[in-house]
Chains A and B, each alone.
Chain A
Amino acid sequence: MIQLETNFEPKIVGFLCRWCSYAGADLAGTSRIKYPPNVNTIRVNCSGRVDPTLVLKALALGADGVLIAGCHPGDCHYTNGNVKALRRFRLLQKMLDQFGIERERVRLEWVSASEGERYARVVRGMTEDVRSLGPLNWKARVEAVA
Chain B
Amino acid sequence: MGTKRVGVFVCHCGLNIAGMVKVKEVIDKANKQPGVVFAVDHKYLCAEPGQTLIKDSIRQHQLDAIVVAACSPAMHEATFKNIAQLSGLNRYNCEVANIREQSSWVHDDSDKATSKAQIAVRQGIEKVKLNEPLQPITVPVTRRVLVIGGGIAGIRAALDVANGGYQVYLVEKSGSIGGRMAQLSETFPTLDCSICILGPLMVEVYRHPNIKLLRLSRVEEVKGYIGNFKVRVRQEPPYVEEAKCNACGECAKVCPAQVPNEFDFGLTWRKAIYTPFAQAVPPAYVLDSTNCLGLLPQACGECKKACDQFGTGCMNLDAWPQVHELEVGAIIVATGYELYDATKLTEYGYGIFSDVMTSLEFERMLSASGPTSGEIRRPSDGETPREIVFIQCAGQREPETALPYCSKICCMYTARHAMMFHHKVPEGQAYVFYMDIRAGGKGYEEFVKRCQEERGLLYLRGRVAKVYEENGKLVVKGVDTLSGKRVQINADLVVLAVGMIPSSETHELASKLKASLDANGFFSEAHPKLRPLESPTAGIFMAGAGQAPKDIPDTVAQASGAASKALDLLSSPTLEREPTVAQVVGELCSGCGICIPSCPYEALSLNAETKLAEVSEALCEGCGTCIASCPSSALSLRNLTDEQMLAMIEAIVAS
Q: Which residues of A contact B (CB under 8 A)?
A: 11, 13, 19-20, 22-23, 25-26, 28-30, 32-37, 40-46, 48-54, 57-58, 61-63, 74-81, 84-85, 88, 112-115, 120
Contact = CB atoms under 8 A, between A and B. Distances in A.
B101 interface: yes
A62 B654 contact: yes
B105 A29 contact: yes
B648 A84 contact: no
Given A42-B645, A58-B649, A29 B101 contact: yes
Given A26-B74, A32-B106, A40-B652, A45 B624 contact: yes
B112 A37 contact: yes
B307 to A, nearest CB: 43
Contacts of B590: none
B625 A78 contact: yes
Nearest to A29: B101
A37 B115 contact: yes
A70 B103 CA distance: 20
A135 to B, nearest CB: 12
B514 A76 contact: yes
From A49, A76, A88, residue with most partner B Cβ within 10 Å: A49
Interface of B: 72-74, 98, 100-103, 105-109, 112-113, 115-116, 119-120, 123, 510-511, 514, 516-519, 524, 536-537, 598, 600-601, 621-625, 627-629, 637, 640, 642, 645-646, 648-650, 652-655
Contacts of A42: 123, 645, 648-649, 652
A78 B623 contact: yes
B519 A120 contact: no
Contact of B628 (A30, A35, A50, A58): A50
16 contacts: A13-B649, A29-B106, A32-B105, A41-B102, A46-B623, A49-B624, A51-B628, A54-B645, A58-B649, A58-B653, A74-B511, A75-B514, A81-B600, A81-B625, A85-B628, A115-B519
Given A42-B123, A61-B649, A61-B650, 13 more contacts: A11-B652, A11-B653, A32-B106, A34-B107, A37-B112, A42-B648, A54-B646, A77-B537, A77-B623, A84-B625, A113-B518, A114-B517, A114-B524
Contacts of B623: 45-46, 48-49, 77-78, 81
B113 to A, nearest CB: 6
A74 B513 CA distance: 11
A49 B637 contact: yes
Contacts of B518: 113-114
Contact of A23 (B119, B516, B624): B516
Contacts of A63: 649, 652-653
Nearest to B519: A114
Nearest to B101: A29
B524 A113 contact: yes
A20 B516 contact: yes
B516 A84 contact: no
Given A22-B74, A37-B116, A49-B640, A29 B511 contact: no
A61 B536 contact: no
